Structure 1
Amino acid sequence: MESGFPTEALHTHLEKGNTLTVLVKKDRSVRGTLSLIDKHMNLLLQDAVETRTQQPCMHRGKKRQSRGRSRAIWGMYLFEGSL
């Protein structure tokens, strides 16, 4: 039986070792393997990779180049607070 609480629903659907993609902001996401989750929805990800993209903009007639950056985070990545 599922309740309406997001943490309980998250615990029932996710297991240790699942791969997650967490959207942090509009242009930033982190993908990693779930290691731990607690009642406050803090996630502990292993082998996390952060991806940032920069949207092109028009400024003074010059177009900024769109670039995607990926940065490997060795070890573990800890998120605190709500997602």
Structure 2
Amino acid sequence: MKIAIPTMGAGGLECDRSGHFGHCDCFTVVTVEDGTITATEVIDNPPHEEGGCMRPVSLLAEHGVDAIVAAGMGMRPLMGFA
């Protein structure tokens, strides 16, 4: 399973989680197999522009993300993941 976490800074397991999905610097994606993290990847978040809140949804789908951990997310991205 691939899980994306909106993160600040350079990304990675040591970075802070972003408080808002669409305005994060990047996404830290962890691959979990049998309850263990087996891989980590950082995906840069494209600039947040008008109507651009669906861009990260598509980006994460292209990278095969199965789940996301986020504190704040607008309705359009939420529905896009649904």
- TM-score w.r.t. the length of structure 1 is 0.28
Higher relative contact order (CA 8 A, sep 6+): 2
Give the structure with the higher percent strand. Answer: 1
Whose helix fraction is larger, Structure 1's or Structure 2's? 2
